[in-house]
């Protein structure tokens, strides 16, 4: 496979040159809908709602489940003197399925918080459910900035990197290099649509042009027709507004069509560790990306990543979603203890008031609209010869302060923020 030296992913504005089961009162798995769980008022229940078999399953999926379990173990397995139960289900990347599962968990099973949800459409639908039920949802895989914009609620926290931060960083970096004509390959649901809209707005504000777009369904395997249209546009940048398996297949397809040899630059907004493994470190070396967390970010994060990898098939490197799920769970449990109750209003107040300090993040905080703020790192994919650890795929280029990386509070349009 031809080395993809000019894949420029997420460049910054200023780029330069078995114990788990023993600790849990119970873990219940359903891949389609929740099974009956006996009411247990003496337990605190967390629901992991995720993609267990679909295109986001490697990016989030089982790794998110294990991250939540590991955080519970590290916390001691109890909160307020009560055991912690985990219930698990797959939303199948369908908002109606996510809503049905969540309602049953919240209304019947006593779940106090839901975590995961890599599909942004499911996340937006779930936000309304937890608002009405007065429970908590923590989005550790969804990326749409609508989650803290028009879709924000007092009951939700967006932990994962969002479309605004990624779009502004990618566009700013590439426009500075004279790459001013763009064509989008966009996954056709809220995540991709929001990403394209935000990026297009920034491109045009900087004097660039969007020459068109081609949409594809979630879980697309054959990108031939989409990529041929992108190639015919003669845009300088072919921007991938997708993620996970869709992104991997699109990048591999762009290599097969030799788009880079024709002078076009394939750029991805959400390049993750799992993508580097899937496409190949050699093929992506030199590519730029944006992340809030990655396995080898620091010694503590790397140590945690190896502990988590020991629980994953093949000992694979955890993704940003997995690490984010770990710290979201840990912060939630700390807030429950600090509040002295699992009641939503008190816990949400503590989660927003308490700093986030853990092996991954130091000094992070949750903003009024539910946006988790921490610094964002612009990275480059290392040549394999530079890697000092099996999970050491990337090197930092620039650290962007949280206040610069994420959308200002006043611009988000969150309906409950004055």
In this structure, are 74 and 97 located in the same domain?
Answer: yes
In this structure, are 243 and 382 located in the same domain?
Answer: yes
Q: Which domain holds residue 248?
A: 163-292+376-405
Label residues 63-101 b or e (16+ Cβ within 10 Å = b). bbbbbbbbbbbbbebbbeebbbbbbbbbbbbebebbbbb
Bridge partners (DSSP) listed for residue 85: 45
pLDDT of residue 181: 98
Longest dimension (CA), the chain: 63
Please state the φ and ψ torsions of residue 48, each to the nearest 5 degrees.
-100, 110
**pLDDT 10s digits, 336-380:** 999 999 999 999 999 999 999 999 999 999 999 999 999 988 788
In this structure, are 245 and 129 located in the same domain?
Answer: no
pLDDT of residue 100: 98
DSSP 153-168: -TTEEE-S--HHHHHH
Please state the φ and ψ torsions of residue 14, each to the nearest 5 degrees.
-125, 50
**pLDDT 10s digits, 223-278:** 999 999 999 999 999 999 999 999 999 999 998 998 878 889 888 899 999 999 99
In this structure, are 369 and 352 located in the same domain?
Answer: yes
In this structure, are 189 and 260 located in the same domain?
Answer: yes
For residue 8, is it within any domain?
no
pLDDT of residue 3: 38
For residue 362, is it within any domain?
yes
Q: What is the chain's Cα-based Rg?
A: 20
In this structure, are 104 and 196 located in the same domain?
Answer: no
For residue 9, is it within any domain?
no
For residue 390, is it within any domain?
yes
In this structure, are 251 and 390 located in the same domain?
Answer: yes
Please state the φ and ψ torsions of residue 184, each to the nearest 5 degrees.
-105, 140
Bridge partners (DSSP) listed for residue 50: 90
In this structure, are 212 and 352 located in the same domain?
Answer: no
d(CA 28, CA 35): 8
Flag whether pLDDT at 13 surpasses 60: no
The CATH number assigned to the domain holding 202 equals 3.40.50.2300
DSSP 330-376: HHHHHHHHHHTS--HHHHHHHHHHS-EESSS-EEEEE-TTSBEE--E
For residue 12, is it within any domain?
no
In this structure, are 267 and 310 located in the same domain?
Answer: no
For residue 6, is it within any domain?
no
**pLDDT 10s digits, 130-161:** 999 999 999 999 999 999 999 999 999 999 99
For residue 85, is it within any domain?
yes
Tokens of residue 133, six digits: 């039920």
The DSSP call for residue 384 is: G
In this structure, are 396 and 312 located in the same domain?
Answer: no
The mean pLDDT of the chain is: 89
In this structure, are 386 and 257 located in the same domain?
Answer: yes
Task: State the pLDDT confidence band at 24, using cuts at 50, 70 and 90.
Answer: very low
Residue 388, CA distances (Å) to 279, 298, 382, 385 in order = 20, 13, 10, 8
CB 225 within 8 A of CB 195: no
pLDDT of residue 368: 97
29-53: average pLDDT = 68
Residue 357, CA distances (Å) to 233, 360, 365 in order = 47, 8, 9
| Domains of the chain: total | 2
pLDDT of residue 41: 64
For residue 1, is it within any domain?
no
């Amino acid at each position: 496979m031809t080395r993809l030296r000019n894949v420029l992913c997420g460049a910054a504005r200023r780029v330069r040159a078995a114990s788990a089961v023993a600790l849990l009162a119970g873990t219940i798995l359903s891949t389609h809908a929740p099974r009956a769980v006996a009411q247990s008022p003496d337990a605190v229940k967390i629901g992991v709602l995720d993609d267990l078999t679909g295109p986001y399953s490697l990016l989030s999926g089982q790794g998110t489940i294990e991250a939540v379990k590991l955080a519970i173990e590290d916390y001691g397995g109890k909160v307020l003197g009560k055991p912690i139960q985990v219930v698990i289900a797959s939303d199948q990347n369908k908002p109606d399925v996510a809503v049905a599962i969540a309602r049953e968990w919240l209304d019947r099973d006593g779940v106090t918080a839901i975590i995961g949800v890599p599909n942004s459409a499911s996340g937006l639908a779930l936000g309304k459910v937890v608002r009405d039920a007065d429970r908590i949802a923590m989005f550790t895989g969804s990326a749409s900035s609508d989650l803290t914009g028009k879709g924000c609620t007092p009951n939700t926290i967006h932990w994962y990197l969002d479309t605004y931060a990624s779009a502004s960083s990618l566009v700013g970096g590439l426009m500075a290099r004279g790459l001013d004509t763009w064509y989008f390959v966009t996954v056709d649901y809220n995540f991709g649509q929001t990403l394209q809209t935000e990026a297009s707005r920034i491109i045009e504000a900087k004097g660039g042009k969007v020459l068109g777009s081609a949409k594809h369904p979630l879980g697309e395997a054959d990108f031939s027709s989409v990529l041929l249209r992108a190639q015919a546009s003669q845009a300088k940048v072919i921007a991938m507004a997708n993620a996970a398996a869709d992104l991997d297949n699109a990048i591999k397809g762009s290599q097969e069509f030799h788009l880079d040899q024709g002078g076009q630059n394939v750029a991805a907004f959400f390049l993750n560790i799992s993508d580097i493994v899937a496409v190949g470190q050699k093929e992506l070396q030199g590519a730029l990306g944006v992340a809030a967390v990655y396995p080898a970010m620091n010694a503590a994060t790397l140590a945690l990543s190896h502990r988590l990898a020991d629980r994953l098939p093949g000992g694979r490197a955890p993704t940003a979603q997995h690490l984010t799920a770990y710290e979201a769970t840990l912060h939630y449990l700390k807030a429950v203890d600090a509040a002295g109750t699992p009641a939503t209003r008190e816990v949400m107040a503590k989660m927003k008031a308490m700093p986030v300090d853990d092996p991954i993040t130091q000094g992070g905080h949750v903003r009024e609209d539910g946006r988790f703020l921490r610094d964002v790192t612009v990275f480059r994919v290392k040549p394999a010869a530079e890697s000092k650890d099996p999970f050491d795929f990337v090197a930092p280029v620039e650290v962007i302060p949280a206040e610069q990386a994420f959308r200002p509070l006043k611009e988000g349009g969150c309906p409950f923020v004055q």
